[in-house]
Amino acid sequence: MSHKNNLFITFCDTVSRLRAQNGCPWDKKQTSYSLKKYIREETDELLEAIDANDAEHICEEAGDILFLIALLAEIHKENNEFTMNEILSTITRKMNRRHPHVFGDARIGSEEELNIQWEKIKSEERSKKRN
């Protein structure tokens, strides 16, 4: 596991370096808004690769999307808004919360029960956000 973590840290450091003073002019000028079109394009390319059932292409396009997410995180870190660690922490908490049948003691008997549970949890989350 530590090798994988080191690889992710290296990847995030690479993205940070692209945005640094001596980094890449293209990467340095990006904003969340300017990345929208690239996120859309790369998502479409990933969907095409999935439709083609082309594992190598799926891997490449998933990497492109991961890069854009890391770039978004770096931009927001620079603006003191959030970091990659906060993204990872938020999604980990959400997945744990939404999967009590895996990470808690809830029991699910069918996919239909799973869907009902999922929607109930999402509804509770929306309700908490409004308050």
The share of the chain scoring above pLDDT 70, in percent, equals: 96
Ordered by where they begin, the domains of the chain are: 2-84 (1.10.287.1080), 99-131 (no CATH)
Answer whether residue 5 shows pLDDT above 80.
Answer: no
In the numeric block, which tokens belong to residue 48?
A: 């095409």
Residue 61 near residue 49, CB atoms below 8 Å = yes
DSSP state of 39: H
**Average of pLDDT values for 19-38?**
97
The share of the chain scoring above pLDDT 90, in percent, equals: 72
Residue 58 near residue 50, CB atoms below 8 Å = yes
What is the rounded end-to-end Cα distance, in angstroms, of the chain? 39
The mean predicted confidence, pLDDT, of the chain is 93
In the numeric block, which tokens belong to residue 8?
A: 């992710």
Looking up tokens 């969340």 gives 32
Rg, Å, the chain Cα set: 18
In the numeric block, which tokens belong to residue 128?
A: 């908490």
**Average of pLDDT values for 2-20?**
88
Question: How far is residue 20's CA from residue 106's CA, in Å, rounded to a whole number?
Answer: 46
